[in-house]
Chains A and B, each alone.
Chain A
Amino acid sequence: MKDLKTDILAQEPKLKIMPYSVPEGYFETFKAEMKPCVRMSLTERLMPYVAMAAVFVFLVTVGTLFLQKTSPAEIMTQEDYLVFSGDMMNTVEYEMAYGSQIADAEIENEDIINYLIYSGVTVEEIELSK
């Protein structure tokens, strides 16, 4: 494989040397900064997520119980709702009330990328489907 007359990878020892450098004192700072995060135990770090999950379960349970107690006759149909909300609110007020929520709901490229990666889609598959 290695023809020495033309094998530049074997002939040039400098190619094996990393041509990059790092800011002065970078590794020492990095090691020092990595240490404090270890001090927080796994339980402590997981606690906020456990709390969020508990709140979510609570809300789902309460929501389900509420829906079960509400009789079907009391649930407003989508058509009734549109008529009702049309009477209650004009377009300008609707924008004022929900405009910020619509803006917040915008999907970022990062979200799309994360979704594609975790759903197992590859770039090659997307390119093939073009």
Chain B
Amino acid sequence: MRRTRRQHAIIYLGLTVGLVLVVGPFLWTALSSVKPEREIRRDPPTFWPETWTLDNFVELFERVSIGTAFANSVIIALVLVVTNLLFCSMVGYAFAKLDFRGKNLAFGLVLVQLAIPAIVLMVPQFVLIAKLGMVNTFIGIILPTVVTPLGVFMMRQFISDLPDELIDAARVDGAREFRIYFRIILPLCGPALATLGLITFLSSWNNFLWPAVVAQSENMYTLPVALNILNGNEGTHYNLLVAGSVVVIAPILLLFVFLQRFFIQGIATTGLK
């Protein structure tokens, strides 16, 4: 059925409202980062900066070692993306396509972990990491999330739907399990891997509490942890916080723009299974 002009207008109106609601705060943050502090706190607030200034960024870079923190965040996020893609898909494959004793129990345990809030595990995890002597190291920050239950669950669901015949055919051709996983399964998991990669990157990028607790010297700080120092004595410095937020958000936005196609595809293919 063809839509009338009127219907189009209504749809676009709805979309515009949604867009403003979603993009508005980001835009305000971005514009505020180039306003002087007094203007940010003024009531009524201004949307378009009256005075343009880069002082916030200058001050931010002077006060916080953003460069180091940025590098730390990137390294940690990338390592976690790689380990999660690899291990979650491996475990997911085993759960989906292999038969072994205790499989259901093991998978059940994975599902149970989905229900446990991370905060509950924090102290025991920290004690563990401390006893292993990994406090204030990259490995200490990374280890607890190298493979996540959510990732395993996602990959298992996705791989379950791949036809068994493909695997049987590969087996007939003499392929061993690892080769099947690597050459048959993994290439078919594109959309699921893209989604998992993005989720992992985002959650690592935004993760605050764990790195804040494990990193004990400033050269190990990630971006959110470094920015948190600004929450200081004389109240919060909103000018520095908005500038910091822009630094944190910008890479994510770029990532979304480039990976948008995969991301939408990923949701469409895994979400409804």
Decide whether A and B are members of one complex: no
